[in-house]
């Protein structure tokens, strides 16, 4: 059983707040009867109508995509650029969980399950994300330490991160670092690297928690298994219990 406004929002009728307004305005029927009580619980078999139009309820789907460069992390784009949703063959109204920049590649989850998306993105759940970063210049120990302890970006200090120097290319004056964070601030990795005086040349997200890109070439995707979804939720529970 789920709250009516949540079912409406998940089906893409409107935001949860707007759905509440629709309910209160008497525009929603459950099994033929107008319902104005917020929080009314509905079953998957109940027929919901909004302004006389039957609501199509979608099964939840979960995809893991290896995002290529040059694709926008959005459901649509004014400039008609290709979006991550265009890469997945589905008739469901999926959207990306979080954001990768246009030029960032790597692991991205897409779903039509709003609760799952919120769960993954909520900072309290501390879901880790691991990035491979190609940096112009060679990071020294003091910069790595600063990145690990937290640097100020957009006026706010970042939380602790794990930073490992993986490769140094003296000849081309570049290095590869692996950075693990559990926040998801806008352009976070690029801004963190900038804050210590360097520039990101290439960025790839390699892992979200225990999920990686094994078996997925650039642009390919697969469905998450029920076991993986359960394991992601369990991770967050462990972390909640620790707080
Ligand atoms: N940090 C960034 O700077 N860009 C991304 O796409 C992801 C994390």
Locate the ligand 1 atom nearest the alpha carbon of residue 73 and give its number.
6
Q: Is 187 in the pocket of ligand 1 (CB under 6 A)?
A: yes
For CA atoms 119, 101, 202, 135, the dihedral sign is negative
Share of residues in the chain with pLDDT > 90 (%): 77
CB neighbour class for 212 (10 Å; exposed up to 12, middle 13-18, buried from 19)? middle
Q: Are 179 and 131 in contact, with CB atoms under 8 Å apart?
A: yes
Which residue has the least CA distance to atom 3 on ligand 1? 187
Which secondary-structure segment (H or E) carries 117?
Answer: helix 114-121
Q: Has residue 241 got a pLDDT over 70?
A: no
Interval 119-139 mean pLDDT: 94
From 101, 113, 115, 154, the catalytic residue: 101
**What is the CATH class of 128-208?**
alpha beta
User: Domain spanning 62-123+211-242 has what CATH number?
Assistant: 3.30.70.580
Beta pairing partners, 208: 129, 211
pLDDT tens track for 9-38: 877 788 888 999 999 999 999 999 999 999
Q: Classify domain 2-54 at the CATH topology level.
A: 3.10.290
Residue whose CB lies within 8 A of the most ligand 1 atoms, among 66, 99, 188, 195, for a mutation test: 188
Q: Is 190 in the pocket of ligand 1 (CB under 6 A)?
A: yes
Catalytic annotation present for 101: yes
Whether 128-208 and 2-54 are alike in CATH topology: the answer is no
Please state the domain extents for the chain: 2-54, 62-123+211-242, 128-208
CB neighbour class for 70 (10 Å; exposed up to 12, middle 13-18, buried from 19)? exposed
Lowest-confidence segment of 3-12, 66-75, 233-242 by average pLDDT: 233-242
> Using 50, 70 and 90 to split pLDDT, how confident is the model at 237?
low
Q: Has residue 102 got a pLDDT over 90?
A: yes
- CA 6, CA 60: separation in Å to the nearest integer? 14
Q: Is 130 in the pocket of ligand 1 (CB under 6 A)?
A: no
Q: Is 101 in the pocket of ligand 1 (CB under 6 A)?
A: yes
């Amino acid at each position: 059983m789920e709250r009516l406004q949540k079912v409406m929002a998940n089906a893409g009728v409107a935001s949860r707040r707007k759905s509440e307004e629709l309910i209160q305005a008497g525009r929603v029927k459950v099994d033929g009867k107008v319902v104005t009580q917020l929080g009314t619980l509905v079953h998957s078999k109940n027929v919901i109508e909004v302004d006389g139009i039957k609501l199509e309820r979608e099964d939840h789907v979960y995809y893991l995509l290896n995002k290529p460069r040059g694709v926008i992390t959005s459901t649509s784009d004014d400039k008609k650029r290709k979006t991550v949703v265009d890469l997945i063959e589905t008739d469901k109204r999926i959207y990306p969980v979080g954001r990768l920049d246009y030029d960032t590649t790597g692991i991205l989850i897409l779903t039509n399950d709003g609760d799952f998306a919120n769960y993954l993105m909520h900072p309290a759940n501390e879901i880790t994300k691991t990035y491979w970063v190609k940096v112009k210049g060679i990071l020294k120990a003091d910069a790595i330490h600063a990145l690990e302890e937290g640097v100020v970006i957009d006026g706010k200090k970042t939380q602790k991160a794990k930073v490992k120097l993986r490769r140094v290319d003296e000849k081309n004056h570049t290095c590869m670092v692996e950075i693990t964070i559990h926040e998801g601030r806008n352009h976070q990795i690029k801004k963190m690297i900038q804050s210590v005086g360097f520039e990101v040349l290439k960025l790839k997200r390699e892992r979200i928690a225990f999920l990686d890109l094994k078996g997925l070439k650039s642009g390919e995707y697969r469905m998450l298994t029920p076991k993986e979804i359960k394991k992601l939720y369990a991770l967050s529970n462990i972390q909640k219990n620790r707080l």
